[in-house]
Amino acid sequence: MAKKKPVRKETAESMGARQREISVSEFFLKNRHLLGFDSPRKALLTTVKEAVDNALDACEEAGILPSISVELRQLAENRFVVHVTDNGPGVVRKQIPKIFAKLLYGSKFHRLRMSRGQQGIGISAAGMYGQLTTGRATRIWSKTQRQACAHRIAVQIDTKTNKPVILEDEEVEWAPAFHAEDPHAEPVTAHHGTCVSIEMEAAYIRGRLSVDEFLKQCAIVNPHLQLHYRVVLLSKKDPKADAAQSDFIGQEPPWTVFARGVDSLPPPSGEIKPHPHGVELGVLIQMLKDSSARTLKVALTQDFSRVSDKAAHFICDTAGLSPKAHPRRIAHQESEALYKAINEVKLMRPPTDCLSPIGEEQILAGLQKEIKADFYTAVTRNPTVYRGNPFQVEVGLAYARPGENADLGGDDPVRVLRFANRVPLLYMGGGCAITKSVNSVNWKSYGLAQPKGSPPLGPMVIMAHMASVWVPFTSESKEAVAHYAEIIRELTFALQECGRRLSVYLNKRKRAAEAERKRGYIEKYIPHLALGLHDILKFSDQEQTKVEAALKEMLERTHLQV
Amino acid sequence: MAKKKPVRKETAESMGARQREISVSEFFLKNRHLLGFDSPRKALLTTVKEAVDNALDACEEAGILPSISVELRQLAENRFVVHVTDNGPGVVRKQIPKIFAKLLYGSKFHRLRMSRGQQGIGISAAGMYGQLTTGRATRIWSKTQRQACAHRIAVQIDTKTNKPVILEDEEVEWAPAFHAEDPHAEPVTAHHGTCVSIEMEAAYIRGRLSVDEFLKQCAIVNPHLQLHYRVVLLSKKDPKADAAQSDFIGQEPPWTVFARGVDSLPPPSGEIKPHPHGVELGVLIQMLKDSSARTLKVALTQDFSRVSDKAAHFICDTAGLSPKAHPRRIAHQESEALYKAINEVKLMRPPTDCLSPIGEEQILAGLQKEIKADFYTAVTRNPTVYRGNPFQVEVGLAYARPGENADLGGDDPVRVLRFANRVPLLYMGGGCAITKSVNSVNWKSYGLAQPKGSPPLGPMVIMAHMASVWVPFTSESKEAVAHYAEIIRELTFALQECGRRLSVYLNKRKRAAEAERKRGYIEKYIPHLALGLHDILKFSDQEQTKVEAALKEMLERTHLQV
């Protein structure tokens, strides 16, 4: 056995000499499970999710109806390359390296606007995971409307400095192409767009936590999206591969196309300014320091939402400050008085027209398209506010007749589809405010069985969507919504409304089934009744038939009135 | 109502212009729940935890028996100042600002060594939270052995750049002082040490998730620690305050002192190099690039653990590489072949003498000191490895007689105390590998009731400790151990061993109770028996007394043999 080396006693000086800066890349490389890269299966999903989120955000901001294609191509047992192509506005050459190979870089973090991305980590983290597991660079093709040629760039992250390292950089002839289901049809080419390609250790497994499921749910809540998808697997030897798909060795499998459901973009979501009542003291100080205004009054009215001139004067009076004071001076000396005064003044709630919910109609359309059921309903609540951040909650529900949908067992817990800013959330359901809300509603009162503290049982799908300018996720991997009381309350109200409607439907169906049973019973006896009348009243055969028909008609009418 | 502003359509250029770097401070400021600062109550605990962790690490590295004092002083209903003082080696002047006011800065991230801190985030995050909620700076007093004077420094984080801003900086007369329980006794002063003081929004609430509980558990697993603690609350008006403590208005409450249990430090834990089988391709490439060695062979034997000259040659041969090749060249071109070869060669498992477990004896002593019970046992497993990282698991168990310990209800779920590298984990028990292991052991076979998938029921405390050079936490707030199969397996084995011992004890106790019952029964009839013998055998009174005594003695002996 190796002898234990004596450990040197440290001093303040020797310890000081070992202190070092840790780059954010190094940190997340060592803690990659925090970003959703714990396993090869989850890594594949996270990569697709981050790339698709970015593509959709870019298209919507540029007012382009999104076409996105996703290809997963297997290179070896445990290795895939993920290609995601969009017809978005493209990325200017200068920004490509940083956007794709620098953690904490982006345009969405510093604003209050509803978007899928918000952290500036996702796609660079996917590239870093690829680099970690395969040593390969992230490859990007991008063409903007103004450029004649596309840029093709290969980048890696220098994890020690969190800076991009450009390995290849050239101008190429390229345009994003989208292939039809029919392999003989010509692909449709767009004039601008971006393609990102990442090689990585990954595992492709079907099921509830798969890329397939993610993209299917994406299509439900983004009916304006046209999505092309295929998985190219290596060979039949791969036990996880379908025979159908792995037959296409040498010859490529066809694309699955999720057609566009609506030809218009969702109403664009606006950017808002922070509401004074949601701002903490430290943030207030920072905002005053950064303000371009030269007086406190202007800073208050210009940098915050809902502060009128009158309100600004009231705040200054309450705090005993001059409205003409310089914001930077206040930041250093009197910020606490200002903070207290701000929280005493009555202000309008934050503007909520910055949100772009899916809408009841679209939710119904999405559910009807993707889930076979008998009863559908949807509720979009009015926007409200948590910690100064506007948000809005929507719930949809689909209930199948027994045996109508093979995917939905009558005695199984209902399926819950969770979404945040139109992005499906697949993992960590247990820690999510949506799951918690579903479990805490009393579904028994709406006619469903429900074990205590669990989801209800039945052939049913619940979908819930939270839209906000800032979704509070429980981790950097953005898989679950944190348990804010305001969010849970809104979700509960929406679920209860859907539940009440479901109970009306279930009661009606119960009555209809009862009537049906009675009708069958009577119908069976009509000929005997007519025969009896024939005997008693001495009807002719012709009269008997007539009476029979009349009785049937009467029954029909009664039935319709049920 | 405000009119919705038309949202401007973006182009690649306009979007590019809005891309910005996000500083890691800004990121965690907006996501402070990720660091354990979600609520005022948890923020208080997290701050104490980070400060105490740092103090203990520093003392142990410098070979100093730690004395730490923690004071929570209430300033307003929702505002506290946290003071944590230690007798550690102190911090050199130059390092103070960065250590206390820069996220991702420290000496522990880049090494494989068992320590409480590992991220370089904790204490700066606590300071940042204080700054966010009160606008105040973190204050540090520090004196090293070599300095005649102490440094007093006040720092804040510039969150935009994640850099410290020094607000005050002076040399002062100061030495860490530790106060006895007796308010009239003189405080003990050390020659070196550090004090950190953070003013913050906080709530002091007693109970299972409190600072009180954290420090009590700290004392259990760190018997070499002398801990001084007090809470100075504002006034009786505070509904959460104890009468006992809030009587001390004007006059300060006394200190609670957790005395030192052992007068020696735990054996120092050594630093190890990465084991080749736990290293991923991307990390291998980075290590080759950074290597100070000039040949591949030297890089392999010098930068990794367990690679002998022979193994290095075998690896080079298998990969078809020259042992004399320059590591940096391999990094660029042939790293994948090298990576494959490394994973084909047989190597000794990583060294495990780098771990410093608490030890069975100390665990028993800790449990006996803090938990009133009848039966105690402890198991320290041998070290093993997950993903190339050595780790070691320990479990202790205390079982009380019914009614013996008012804190432990006989029909309640057992209490589980979780520890990682000697740090108590209070929050997020549901997501922790320790909880999962406790729930999955079949406790019924050891004589305890257990609802399915839940912890067993009984007047029992289980403590479990995971020691590792790198503990895989489920979030930055370091509250739960991730579900690695290897870790859960080791925990399960240790729990089962404790369970078997418990079942021996429970059976013995059952038999003893049975014998006691019988004994009482016979004892009651001995006089009658003697009287009968007296009558039948015509004993004298004297003989009767003698027989009675003899019978009792016999019974006594039988009982002892049970």
Residues A526 and A557 in one domain: yes
B134 closest CB neighbour out of A102, A269, A281 = A281
To which H or E segment does residue A388 belong? none
Contacts of A91 in chain B (CB under 8 A): 12, 15-16
Residue B443 DSSP symbol: G
**DSSP state string for A129-177:** HHHHHH-PPEEEEEE-TT-SSEEEEEEEEETTTTEEEEEEEEEE----E
ipTM score of complex: 0.84
Whether residue A27 and residue B107 make contact (CB cut-off 8 A), yes or no, is no
Evaluate whether residue A226 is within a structural domain. yes
Whether B451 contacts chain A with CB within 8 A: no
Contacts of A4 in chain B (CB under 8 A): 270, 353
Whether residue B29 and residue A107 make contact (CB cut-off 8 A), yes or no, is no
Interface with chain A: mutation pick from B15, B86, B134, B194, highest number of A CBs within 10 Å: B15
Whether A406 contacts chain B with CB within 8 A: no
Residues 112-131 of A with CB under 8 A from B: 119-120, 128, 131
- Quickly list H helices, A304-375: 309-319, 327-333, 335-344, 360-370
| Tokens at B429, concatenated | 């028990």
User: Searching chain A, which residue's CA lies closest to the CA of residue B431?
Assistant: A431
A18 closest CB neighbour out of B107, B281, B476 = B107
**In whole angstroms, what is the distance from residue A289 CA to residue A311 CA?**
21
**In whole angstroms, what is the distance from residue A265 CA to residue A223 CA?**
9
Q: Provide the pLDDT for residue B2.
A: 43
**In whole angstroms, what is the distance from residue B327 CA to residue B318 CA?**
16
**Where does a domain end: B258, B284, B299?**
B258
Among residues A331, A328, A393, A389, the alpha carbon closest in space to that of A360 is found at A393
Whether A351 contacts chain B with CB within 8 A: yes
Quote the minimal CA–CA distance from B142 to chain A in Å: 10
Report whether A355 contacts A383 (CB < 8 A). yes
Evaluate whether residue A176 is within a structural domain. yes
Evaluate whether residue B349 is within a structural domain. no
3-class secondary structure, B463:
strand
Q: Provide the pLDDT for residue B549.
A: 79
Q: Where residue A314 sits, what CATH number does that domain have?
A: 1.10.8.50
- The pTM score is 0.86
Residues A454 and A396 in one domain: yes
Residues B296 and B401 in one domain: no
Q: Provide the pLDDT for residue A533.
A: 67
Q: Provide the pLDDT for residue A391.
A: 94
Whether B334 contacts chain A with CB within 8 A: no
Whether A91 contacts chain B with CB within 8 A: yes
Residues B373 and B493 in one domain: yes
**Per-residue pLDDT of chain B in tens (562 residues, 90 and over written 9):** 344 445 567 888 888 888 888 999 999 988 888 899 989 999 999 999 999 999 999 999 999 999 999 999 999 999 999 999 999 999 999 999 999 999 999 988 888 888 998 888 999 999 999 999 999 999 999 999 888 899 999 999 999 999 999 999 999 999 999 998 888 889 999 999 999 999 999 999 999 999 999 999 999 899 899 999 999 998 755 545 454 444 445 568 999 999 988 899 988 888 899 999 888 898 899 899 999 999 999 999 999 999 999 999 999 999 999 999 999 888 777 898 999 999 899 998 888 888 989 999 989 988 888 889 999 999 999 998 888 889 999 999 999 988 888 888 878 899 999 999 999 999 988 889 999 999 999 999 999 999 887 889 999 999 999 999 999 998 899 999 998 899 999 999 999 999 999 999 999 999 988 888 887 777 777 777 667 767 777 777 787 778 777 777 776 665 554 4
Quote the minimal CA–CA distance from B162 to chain A in Å: 11
- Quickly list H helices, A349-443: 360-370, 433-440
Contacts of A19 in chain B (CB under 8 A): 95, 98-99, 105-107
Quote the minimal CA–CA distance from A152 to chain B in Å: 16
Whether residue A95 and residue B34 make contact (CB cut-off 8 A), yes or no, is no
* Burial class of residue B426 (count of CB atoms within 10 Å of its CB; 0-12, 13-18, 19+): buried
B61 closest CB neighbour out of A15, A281, A283 = A15
A133 closest CB neighbour out of B62, B89, B280 = B280
**Where does a domain end: A191, A224, A258?**
A258
Q: Provide the pLDDT for residue A237.
A: 55
Quote the minimal CA–CA distance from B248 to chain A in Å: 29
Quote the minimal CA–CA distance from A244 to chain B in Å: 32
Number of domains forming the structure of chain B: 4
Contacts of B30 in chain A (CB under 8 A): 109, 470
**In whole angstroms, what is the distance from residue B130 CA to residue B205 CA?**
18
Whether residue B89 and residue A10 make contact (CB cut-off 8 A), yes or no, is yes
Quote the minimal CA–CA distance from B1 to chain A in Å: 9
Rounded average pLDDT per 10-residue block, chain A, 562 residues: 55 87 90 90 96 96 96 94 96 95 91 88 95 94 92 95 96 94 90 96 94 94 94 70 48 88 87 89 90 94 93 93 91 86 90 88 88 95 89 96 84 93 92 93 94 89 95 91 92 97 94 84 73 73 77 65 46
Strand-pair category, A460-468 with A415-420 = parallel
**Where does a domain end: B197, B227, B258?**
B258
Quote the minimal CA–CA distance from A180 to chain B in Å: 27
Whether residue B109 and residue A19 make contact (CB cut-off 8 A), yes or no, is no
Residues A436 and A423 in one domain: yes
Residues A493 and A515 in one domain: no
Residue B340 DSSP symbol: H
Quote the minimal CA–CA distance from B217 to chain A in Å: 27
Quote the minimal CA–CA distance from A7 to chain B in Å: 6
Q: Provide the pLDDT for residue A147.
A: 86
Contacts of A134 in chain B (CB under 8 A): 281-282
Residues 71-90 of B with CB under 8 A from A: 89-90
Contacts of A9 in chain B (CB under 8 A): 61-63
Report whether A182 contacts A190 (CB < 8 A). no
Q: Where residue A413 sits, what CATH number does that domain have?
A: 3.30.230.10
Q: What is the 3-state secondary structure (H, E, C) of B43-103?
A: HHHHHHHHHHHHHHHHHHHHCCCCEEEEEEEEEECCEEEEEEEECCCCCCHHHHHHHHCCC
Q: Provide the pLDDT for residue B440.
A: 93
Interface with chain A: mutation pick from B61, B99, B123, highest number of A CBs within 10 Å: B61
Contacts of A120 in chain B (CB under 8 A): 22
Whether residue B92 and residue A12 make contact (CB cut-off 8 A), yes or no, is yes
Whether A99 contacts chain B with CB within 8 A: yes
Whether A234 contacts chain B with CB within 8 A: no
Residue B460 CB partners (closer than 8 Å, separation 6+): B373, B397, B398, B399, B400, B408, B414, B415, B448, B502
Evaluate whether residue B4 is within a structural domain. no
Whether A208 contacts chain B with CB within 8 A: no
Whether B346 contacts chain A with CB within 8 A: no
Size of interface A-B (CB pairs under 8 A): 204
Whether residue B24 and residue A29 make contact (CB cut-off 8 A), yes or no, is no
Evaluate whether residue B8 is within a structural domain. no
Residues A29 and A156 in one domain: yes
Q: Provide the pLDDT for residue B38.
A: 87
**In whole angstroms, what is the distance from residue A364 CA to residue A349 CA?**
30
Quote the minimal CA–CA distance from A500 to chain B in Å: 32
Residues B194 and B50 in one domain: yes
Contacts of B144 in chain A (CB under 8 A): 11-13
Evaluate whether residue A12 is within a structural domain. no
A11 closest CB neighbour out of B23, B89, B104 = B89
Q: Provide the pLDDT for residue A251.
A: 66
Residues A178 and A196 in one domain: yes
Residues A73 and A222 in one domain: yes
Contacts of A58 in chain B (CB under 8 A): 15
**In whole angstroms, what is the distance from residue A430 CA to residue A395 CA?**
18
Residue B372's identity, in one-letter code, is: K
Residues A199 and A63 in one domain: yes
Residues A502 and A515 in one domain: no
Domain that holds residue B287: 276-344
Report whether A530 contacts A544 (CB < 8 A). yes
Whether A452 contacts chain B with CB within 8 A: no
Report whether B221 contacts B422 (CB < 8 A). yes
Evaluate whether residue B264 is within a structural domain. no
Whether B5 contacts chain A with CB within 8 A: yes
Contacts of B62 in chain A (CB under 8 A): 9-12, 15
Q: Where residue B33 sits, what CATH number does that domain have?
A: 3.30.565.10
Evaluate whether residue A462 is within a structural domain. yes
Q: Provide the pLDDT for residue B166.
A: 97
Residues 163-202 of A with CB under 8 A from B: 192
Whether residue B22 and residue A98 make contact (CB cut-off 8 A), yes or no, is no
